[in-house]
Structure 1
Amino acid sequence: MQDIWDNHRGSIIAVAAAIIAFFSSAYVVSEEEQAVIIRTGQPVGTVNTPGGKTGAGLYLRIPFVDSVQTIEKRLLDLEMNEEEVLSNDQQRLLVDAYARFRIVDPVRMVERAGNTDGVRTALEPILNSVLRQELGRRTFEAMLTAERGTALANVRTKLDRQAKQYGAEIIDVQIKRTDLPSGAPLDSAFQRMETDRQREARTIRAQGDRDARIIRAEADAQASKIYAAAFGKDPGFYDFYRAMQSYDATFATREGGPQNNLILSPDNEYLRQFRGQR
């Protein structure tokens, strides 16, 4: 047995050393990650980066010389929790916002920020500042309309410009919640909003009444024109028609009203049309 060990000792040691060297140099990069190879403190290569020539899989490095830093390839969140912002109409707003970003240049990220937490630390005050600027140009009510989308698009553009220097790309910026602080300011804002809506409703009603009067006047004028044109073709019929209207108004029995008693001579001119005379 000793002879066998002596004869194969060199081979066994070589195989063991090869196994140790392989495990020391081999590393795996998953589909959800990208990697930067760092040698003597400097990035010297990348694996599975967006648009890169290599993909996920098993790779080798120089043992004890190269280190591998893996970086998330999926979207990452940047949170801004309940920051106070002053709107254009001097309302103090409590804003919960977030941005989604991804690392597109891992080498620059390693050089400028170190890791993704460093990117978040660098971008949080920028997001805060840009959001304050955009919301400060708009009223609280404007943030409840489509103008909110324009403001967030501007925030994304400005934040993305700053994020590029850290190897990141801003995908989206959204506001989760925009509220007024509780208490008197909130009640005052609601009361002012209610007053504005009531004023707007009164304006709409006034415009509706004006339009209705115009329509009725135009309709009456058109009706008079039609009647005049029709009765002008037969003055006798017009005289008969007007007499019938007068009889109806004079002799009609009104429920609950006083009864009218008229004593007229049979040959009275008023009853001429009643007698069938024209």
Structure 2
Amino acid sequence: MKRTALTVLLVLIGLAVIAAYLTLFTVYQTQQALVLEFGKPKRLITEPGLNYKIPFIQNVQLFDKRLLDLDSAPQEVIAADQKRLVVDAFARWRITNPLLFYQSVNNETGARTQLSAFLEAALRRVLGAASFEAVVRDDRNDLMRKITSELNAKAKSFGITVVDVRIKRADLPEANSLAIYRRMQTERQREAAEIRAEGEEASRRIRADADRQVTVVKADATGESERIRGTGDAEKNRVFADAFGKDADFFAFYRSMQAYKGSLRSGDTRMLLSPDSQFFQYFNDAAGGPGGSSSSLPKPTATEDRARSGTSVAPSSP
């Protein structure tokens, strides 16, 4: 009897667990639920908690409350200035009307398919009316707002709100990019050649100016040196002229000694001269010339004698 009662109790508990499992369901904070009865919407649940349904008659469709992403495939767009662009964009959206969402696209897969088509159309329409510079640099934020607004206008009929649309990459096709890079390289090379040419011209100008200044400085220095040399020669000639005027014989004798000193150097010095040459006049005659009378000149000094004989005699102390 007790065993039968225990068995019945266990069976009842099992049936209660099964009934609770089939009747109760939980809606989490990130979810919203739509209760369907034979496929028709009966009740919308947006608050988290424990809820119920009629087993085998009603079922529950859960939808995400969080932001969902839509990443479109890269596509080629022709801008207003007829430049081709490869655009890679993405969108952020959420389900704001689960009932309309369920009735229009049923689930996230259908929603993504519809939104992808709408996003591609909006990208082509908005970017096609803008220039390449506006898309890449100048007005991208304004263009993104326009695309978001157009996408939202179409997504509302599906119970969807598009929060934002962004362009990850907007670039030229690879072939166009290579051509632009080559053109940029050529332009930079041309600019570099112009800068080098300007540098060479400046270098030649500076070098020519420096050479001119060197020539002027050398010419000034040469002129100054010649002037000083001329002044010195004039002073020397004046001194010689004064000396010649005071004692002509001594001046002639001094000049001959200078000539001997410059020509008769140590070593193998050979000279071929006539016996009556004026060069050795002081060797031939004390009067300064061959055949001359010695009585007309004063008696040679010891210095003159030593010069004629070529001997070296130490001077006697006075």
Q: The TM-score by the shorter chain falls in which range?
A: 0.5 to 0.7
1:143 alignment partner, SS class: helix
Q: How does 1:61-80 map to 2 (within 5 A)?
A: 61-80=53-72
Identity of aligned residues (%): 33
Alpha carbons of structure 1 residues 177 and 94: separation in structure 2 relative to 1, 3 Å: same
Structure 1 residue aligned with 2:87: 95
- Runs of 4+ with >6 A deviation: 191-197
Deviations 1:19-60 (Å, cap 9, x if unpaired)?
210111111111111111111111111222xxxxx3x12221
TM-score normalised by L of structure 2: 0.56
Q: Runs of 5+ in structure 2 lacking a partner?
A: 192-212, 224-318
**How far did 1:189 drift?**
4.1
Asked if 1:154 corresponds to 2:146, the answer is yes
Structure 2 residue aligned with 1:44: 42
TM-score normalised by L of structure 1: 0.64
**How far did 1:62 drift?**
1.0
**How far did 1:7 drift?**
4.1
Q: How does 1:8-47 map to 2 (within 5 A)?
A: 10-47=8-45
**How far did 1:6 drift?**
3.4
2:174 alignment partner, SS class: coil
Equivalent position amino acid for 1:181 in 2: P
Q: How does 1:116-265 map to 2 (within 5 A)?
A: 116-183=108-175, 185-190=176-181, 257=216
| Structure ID, larger Rg | 2
Alpha carbons of structure 1 residues 126 and 61: separation in structure 2 relative to 1, 3 Å: same
Larger relative contact order, structure 1 or 2 (CA cutoff 8 Å, min sep 6): 1
More helix as a share of residues: 2
Separation (CA, whole Å) in 2 of partners of 1:38 and 1:193: 63
**How far did 1:107 drift?**
0.8
Structure 1 residue aligned with 2:96: 104
Using the TM superposition, name which of 143-152 and 161-170 deviates more.
143-152
Separation (CA, whole Å) in 2 of partners of 1:21 and 1:153: 51
Separation (CA, whole Å) in 2 of partners of 1:149 and 1:191: 30
2:74 alignment partner, SS class: strand
1:114 alignment partner, SS class: coil
1:96 alignment partner, SS class: strand
Separation (CA, whole Å) in 2 of partners of 1:139 and 1:192: 20
Asked if 1:82 corresponds to 2:74, the answer is yes
Separation (CA, whole Å) in 1 of partners of 2:167 and 2:55: 47
Paired positions, count:
198
Alpha carbons of structure 1 residues 21 and 130: separation in structure 2 relative to 1, 3 Å: same
1:74 alignment partner, SS class: coil
Alpha carbons of structure 1 residues 195 and 155: separation in structure 2 relative to 1, 3 Å: farther
Structure 2 residue aligned with 1:243: none
Separation (CA, whole Å) in 2 of partners of 1:196 and 1:45: 69
Alpha carbons of structure 1 residues 117 and 196: separation in structure 2 relative to 1, 3 Å: farther
Structure 2 residue aligned with 1:237: none
**How far did 1:61 drift?**
1.2
Separation (CA, whole Å) in 2 of partners of 1:143 and 1:68: 45
**How far did 1:9 drift?**
5.0
Using the TM superposition, name which of 188-197 and 173-182 deviates more.
188-197
Alpha carbons of structure 1 residues 192 and 156: separation in structure 2 relative to 1, 3 Å: farther
Deviations 1:222-258 (Å, cap 9, x if unpaired)?
xxxxxxxxxxxxxxxxxxxxxxxxxxxxxxxx88647
Equivalent position amino acid for 2:113 in 1: T
Equivalent position amino acid for 1:33 in 2: Q
**How far did 1:192 drift?**
6.9
Separation (CA, whole Å) in 1 of partners of 2:130 and 2:5: 85
